[in-house]
Amino acid sequence: MPTNLPPEALEAEQRYRAARSVADKIACLEEFISTIPKHKGTDKLRADLRRRLSKLKSSSQPRKGASKRDSPFRIDKEGAGQAVVVGPPNVGKSALVAALTNAAPEVADYPFTTWTPTPGMMPVENVQIQLIDTPPLNRDFVEPELMDLIRRSDLILLVVDLQSDAFHQLEDSIALLQEQRIVPCCKKDRYPQGQRLTFVPLLVLANKCDDEDACKDFEIFRQLLEDDWPLLHVSAATGRNLEDLKWAAFERLEIMRIYAKPPGAEPDLSTPFVLCKGSTVEEFARKVHQDFFENLKAARVWGSATYAGQMVQRDHVLHDGDVVELRI
């Protein structure tokens, strides 16, 4: 440090050295730099300090990749619903997502293979349900962003391993979720109203049900459970009940498919509109186009109506598979 600095520069330097927070350091360093006389003898010092200042400034900015928006845990919903595949390590979450979707998450027989969520689309007849493979639920490190992802999802597929201690895996996982204020919809009645809880539909998948012996284990597991859980025994390895799993997920999402029929033409049965169960003709019209919603005069329904092509009102409740002709 050159000794020929004016006293105010030396004082500013002292303040800079004493500063603790990054913001203070930046402010004091800026002041220090401004008090140094500009001449050849101080060129190097000023260049050094400016470099230090820009380093401090960049370290105080939030890192680009670390922003919430870019987080791998922020996954836009796609298709008819978003289901998160969660559970303890090594139960076969990744294997199930690989077997059911176009995604190829890494599957391995050691825990914590999966670090970031991986989405994939699971076709169920003519709709697609988004499945998200996730890192394991872990008591030693509860990842807040994973909990947020679960909270935002439309369905939890909780996977347990029938060849390991499935009963405790289920109990532990449910307890861990509950500590994070995430409660399965089917247990809603047990909680007094007014608590800040998020209720999410849940389906328990007892995986590794590869053969008849494992099926017997599943019966024991089922009997051990005091409560009624929505349960399905599956095997990612042999494919057992994977087709049933798709429909069970569809059911739990409480959705239905409605087909639009233009007047005088056949409906397009390959691309349904997906609505919540119990939606009305009016809600269907809104989904098709705002104009239909505003100007809807009448509608004809095939499927759940008493007779084919029946004229119905705006408040007529639709059912999965209905074909609807909207008239404006």
Ligand X SMILES: Nc1nc2c(ncn2[C@@H]2O[C@H](COP(=O)(O)OP(=O)(O)O)[C@@H](O)[C@H]2O)c(=O)[nH]1
Q: Does 90 bind Mg ion (CB under 5 A)?
A: no
CA dihedral 73, 231, 240, 146 (to 10 degrees): 10
Q: Which is nearer to ligand X, 114 or 153 (CB)?
A: 114
Q: Does 316 bind ligand X (CB under 6 A)?
A: no
Site for Mg ion in 140-159 (CB under 5 A): none
Q: Does 18 bind ligand X (CB under 6 A)?
A: no
Q: What is the distance of C-alpha 65 from the center of its chain?
A: 19
Tell me the window of 39-47, 102-110, 264-272, 282-290 that interacts with ligand X (CB under 6 A). Answer: 102-110
Residue (of 247, 99, 100, 237) closest to 161 by Cα position: 237
Considering CB under 6 A, how many residues would be counted as binding ligand X? 19
Tokens standing for residue 29: 């360093």
Length of the chain: 328
Q: Does 162 bind ligand X (CB under 6 A)?
A: no
Place of tokens 């509109």: 273
Half-sphere exposure for 163 (CA within 13 Å, toward CB): 14
Q: Does 93 bind ligand X (CB under 6 A)?
A: yes
Q: What is the distance of C-alpha 247 from the center of its chain?
A: 20
Q: Which is nearer to Mg ion, 117 or 272 (CB)?
A: 117
Contact of residue 108 among Mg ion, ligand X, none (CB under 5-8 Å per partner type): ligand X
> Quick one: angle between helices 7-18 and 22-35, nearest 10?
170
Q: Could you tell me if 64 and 112 are in contact, meaning their C-beta atoms sit under 8 angstroms apart?
A: no
Contact of residue 101 among Mg ion, ligand X, none (CB under 5-8 Å per partner type): none
Q: How near is the Cβ of 205 to ligand X at its closest, in Å?
A: 10
Site for ligand X in 126-145 (CB under 6 A): 136
Q: Does 118 bind Mg ion (CB under 5 A)?
A: no
Q: Does 101 bind Mg ion (CB under 5 A)?
A: no
Task: Figure out which of the listed residues 94, 118, 173, 279 binds ligand X, where binding follows CB under 6 A.
Answer: 94
SS3 200: strand
Q: Does 173 bind ligand X (CB under 6 A)?
A: no
DSSP code, position 285: H
Q: Does 94 bind Mg ion (CB under 5 A)?
A: yes
Site for ligand X in 227-246 (CB under 6 A): 235-237
- Strand pairing of 255-260 and 310-312? unpaired
Task: Figure out which of the listed residues 10, 23, 104, 108 binds ligand X, where binding follows CB under 6 A.
Answer: 108
Tell me how far apart the alpha carbons of residues 87 and 192 are, in angstroms, rounded to a whole number: 27
Place of tokens 């009102």: 313
Tokens standing for residue 15: 């303040």
Using CB under 5 A as the criterion, which residues of the chain lie in contact with Mg ion when the complex forms? Answer: 93-94, 113-114
Q: Which residues bind ligand X (CB under 6 A)?
A: 89-95, 107-109, 113-114, 136, 207-208, 210, 235-237
